[in-house]
Amino acid sequence: MSPSADRLAVVLLSGGLDSATVLAEAVSRGFVCHTLAVDYGQRHRAELDAAMRVSRELGAVSHKVVQVDLRAIGGSALTDDIEVPVVPGAGIPVTYVPARNTLMLSLALGYAEVLDARDLFIGVNAVDYSGYPDCRPAFISAFESLAALATKVGVEGGRFEIHTPLIDLKKSEIVRRGTELGVDYALTVSCYQADDQGRACGRCESCRLRRQGFIDAGLPDPTRYV
């Protein structure tokens, strides 16, 4: 391990509110951050553009975009010809992308091993979220166990830590924390169906959760709506 490897981190950065807050948190903890966005065939590229802006604004030392076409398997309103709902339904919503966080963490894990980093950050949340199974603490714990078994680092006695600083926070608490850390949320895009300019629909579940977070935090919402 290089002398500075214990301070290197790979941060998964979608371009949304949560991942921007996670990057700011990682930087505040003294990590040298390399951000990773995944172009997986989502409905719009606005969030990928936002990820690049946020990475630069918050001081990451590099930003990488990896392409994986999940439209090839579909099964989600974000990767298939399925309408994004404006009213939440029962059970796991159709905006769940099969295996998305498993895939993204796997890519971040491989990138961390290449960089000789041992720390990964991801913005999963198990409080104000849509019921996605890959946002729960049990999933993160299981992936850390997988990383110990499936990598050269793990086999040789090293370990990776997956940091989830938002996992137990309400959306309002995330907004307050990010604001304290200087996150400019006007740079971020959370909407499931933002337009080409990054303007939010204001109707999907992601928009509703985001807007309520600012209301509950008592802070102005800088989101640009259609």
146-164 average pLDDT score: 97
Tally of CA atoms within 13 A in the half-sphere of 195 that contains its CB: 9
Q: Where are the domains of the chain?
A: 5-217
Alpha helices by DSSP H, 9-96: 17-28, 46-57
Query: What pLDDT was estimated at residue 89?
Result: 66
DSSP state of 127: S
158-185 average pLDDT score: 97
Q: Tell me the pLDDT band of 129, cut-offs 50, 70 and 90.
A: low
Q: Tell me the pLDDT band of 6, cut-offs 50, 70 and 90.
A: low
* Whether pLDDT at 2 is above 90: no
> 30-57, pLDDT tens digit by residue?
999 999 999 999 988 899 999 999 999 9
- What pTM was computed for the model? 0.94
* Whether pLDDT at 225 is above 70: yes
Rounded-to-integer distance, Cα 95 and Cα 76, Å? 5
CATH of domain 5-217: 3.40.50.620
User: What radius of gyration do the chain's Cα atoms show?
Assistant: 17
* Whether pLDDT at 114 is above 50: yes
199-218 average pLDDT score: 95
Q: Please calculate the CA angle 171-176-181 and round it to the nearest 5 degrees.
A: 125
Question: How high is the mean pLDDT of the chain?
Answer: 93
Buried b (16+ CB within 10 A) or exposed e, 18-50: bbbbbbbbbbeeebbbbbbbbebbbbbebbbbb
Query: What pLDDT was estimated at residue 85?
Result: 84
* Whether pLDDT at 140 is above 90: yes
DSSP code per residue over 132-197: -GGGSHHHHHHHHHHHHHHSHHHHTT---EEE-TTTT--HHHHHHHHHHTT--GGG----TT--TT
Helix axes 137-150, 100-115, angle to 10 degrees: 40
* Whether pLDDT at 1 is above 70: no
> 49-108, pLDDT tens digit by residue?
999 999 999 999 999 999 999 999 999 999 999 999 887 667 888 999 999 999 999 999
Tally of CA atoms within 13 A in the half-sphere of 222 that contains its CB: 11
Sorted by sequence, the CB contacts under 8 Å of residue 220 that are 6+ apart come out as 214
